[in-house]
Amino acid sequence: MNAISESDIRRACLPAPDPLKSARGSIRSGQPPMSVAEILAEIERIADLPLSRSETLPAQAYTSQEFFDWEIDNLFKNDWICLGHVSQIPSIGDFLNVEVLGEPVVVVRDKENGINVLSRVCPHRAMDIMPPGFGYDGHGPAEAKEGEPGCGHTRFLLCPYHFWTFELDGKLKACAEMGQAEGFNRDEWGLRSFRSEVWNGFVFVNLDGTAPRTVAEQYATLSDQVAPWLIDDMVMVAQNEWDCAFNWKILTENFMESYHHAGAHSKTLQPMMPARDTWTEEEKPFHIRCHLPMKEELRAEIRAIDEEGRHWETYPPIATLPENERLEWGLVLGYPLFTFVLTGDSVIWYRILPMGPDHLKLLTTILVPRSTTEDPNFEEMNQVATQAAIDFHLEDMEVCMAVQRGLFTAGYQRGRLSHLEMPIWLIQRFLAARGRGTWPTMDRPGAPSQKA
C-alpha cells in the first residue's frame, strides 16, 4: 500500500477534462442496467435485513446516472450541505467560493458580520462573478488567499463581464448605462441568496430551501456530543483538495467503517486503534457516531507521557475533553454528507461535493483550538499533522478508487458485511427511509448500540 505516491494518486484521481466521463473509461459497465425504482426496491429489501444478515448495495447504486440524479433531488438539494467553517472567513469581506451540485456560490461575510451564501450567477446575463481561475487578482477588488482553496477577501463583489457591482449581502450596488432600461429598479436585481445556517462554526446551505428542519434542530443531539471540542471557536489550519473518481457513498462508507484499519491502514491506524475494538452507537435519525478507542498499551503510554509534562498528540491535547474522548477517535456522519473525525487534539472535517455517480470533489481539513495556533512550535506541529493526515487519507483514496472500478465490472458480486461495518448498514437504512419518504421518522425500531 505504501509504494504508491501522493502524485500517483492525485494523477489517477483526476477525472478526464469532461466531468461526466466515468471512472470506467470507455468500457460499458459489466452490470445490467437497473431503473431507479429497482435500485430503491433492492435498497429497501437489504436495509430491512438485520445487521447480522446485511449485504452490500447493488453496484448500480454507485454507477447509475439516473440514480445519482434521484439522490440530488431527494438527498442533497432538499437537505443541508456543509460548505465551510467560519474560521475560513474571519473578517468582513472574506469569502469562500464553492461549486455545490452545479451551483457556483460564494460564502461571504458582510458588513454586519452576517454570513451569506449567494449565487455567483450574475442577474444581468448569467456570468459567474468569480469563475475559477478568473475574477480574482487583477479583476476588481477581490484577492485570493494563498493555501486556502476558493478563499479570498474583497470590499464588494464585481461581475467581470459588464462591471455590475454588488454589496457583500448580494444587493446590487451599481450598474452603468442602465438609465434607459425602462422600469429597471436596481433594488430588484441582487445576487440570489440561498438559505443558510451556521452550526457550531460550520456553514450549511439548503439549496432548494425546503429542508423541514433547521440544522440546529436536526443536529441537536450531535451538538451535545461535540460540545467539548468547542468547534465554533476552532481555526482551520490545513486544507487539501482532491478530485476523486468514485461515488460519494464509497467515501462515506469508507470514512465511517473502521473494519479496514486491519487492511488498508494496517501500518498506520491499526496499531493505534485496532479494527476489532471499534464500535457504533445506537441508530439515530440524523447522524451516525462511531468510537475508535486507542488500544490499552497506548492509553498507558499516553498517561505516562502526560506525567512527564509532554504530550503524545501532535498538537497539544484539547483541554476541555474528558479522558475517554481524548483517548479515542470519534467518527461522525451527519446525513447526508457531513463527515468529520473528533480526535484528542483536533477535528478533521471532510467536505464532500458529489459531482456525478463516479466523481466527487473533496476538501480534507484540520481544525484546532485557537490556542494551539499560538504555540511557539505550531508551524512544525502543523506540518507533521498535515502530512500524517495525507498519508492515511492516501491509503483510503487507493481503495476507494479501486472499489469504484470494481463496481463497473461483470465480475462484481454482492458482498456480506461484518458487524464492524454497522455504519454501512445504517447508511442503507437512511437511503431506504428516504426512498419510501418516511425519513426522518424512524419507522423501524432503532438499532441498538454495539456497546452494552
Residue 164 binds ligand FES, judged by CB under 6 A: yes
Question: Closer to Fe ion at the Cβ: 167 or 396?
Answer: 396
C-beta of 364: minimal distance to Fe ion in Å?
A: 12
CA distances from 172 to 62, 113, 123, 183, 430 (A): 42, 19, 9, 16, 41
Question: Closer to Fe ion at the Cβ: 325 or 396?
Answer: 396
Interface characters, 94-133, with ligand FES (x: CB under 6 A): ----------------------------x-xx-x------
Q: Is 113 helix (H, G, I), strand (E, B) or coil?
A: coil
C-beta of 406: minimal distance to Fe ion in Å?
A: 17
Residue 166 binds ligand FES, judged by CB under 6 A: no
C-beta of 30: minimal distance to ligand FES in Å?
A: 46
CB contact at 8 A, 101 and 78: no
Residue 396 binds Fe ion, judged by CB under 5 A: yes
C-beta of 131: minimal distance to ligand FES in Å?
A: 11
Interface characters, 284-323, with ligand FES (x: CB under 6 A): ----------------------------------------
Per DSSP bridges, beta strands 94-100 and 151-153 are antiparallel
C-beta of 121: minimal distance to ligand FES in Å?
A: 9
β partners of residue 149:
none
- Residue 100 C-alpha cell reads as 455545490
Q: In what order do the strands lie in the sheet with 94-100?
A: 81-85, 202-206, 193-199, 115-119, 103-109, 94-100, 151-153, 143-144
List the one residue from 70, 156, 161, 392 that touches ligand FES (CB under 6 A): 161
Determine the Cα–Cα distance for residues 79 and 213; give it in Å rounded to an integer.
9
Residue 156 binds ligand FES, judged by CB under 6 A: no
Interface with Fe ion: number of residues (CB under 5 A): 1
Residue 358 binds Fe ion, judged by CB under 5 A: no
Q: What is the dihedral of CA 268, 355, 285, 437, to 10 degrees?
A: -150
Residue 256 binds ligand FES, judged by CB under 6 A: no
- Residue 42 C-alpha cell reads as 433492492
The DSSP call for residue 129 is: S
Closest C-alpha to 94, from 156, 153, 167, 149 = 153
Contacting residues toward Fe ion, per CB under 5 A: 396
Contacting residues toward ligand FES, per CB under 6 A: 122, 124-125, 127, 159, 161-162, 164
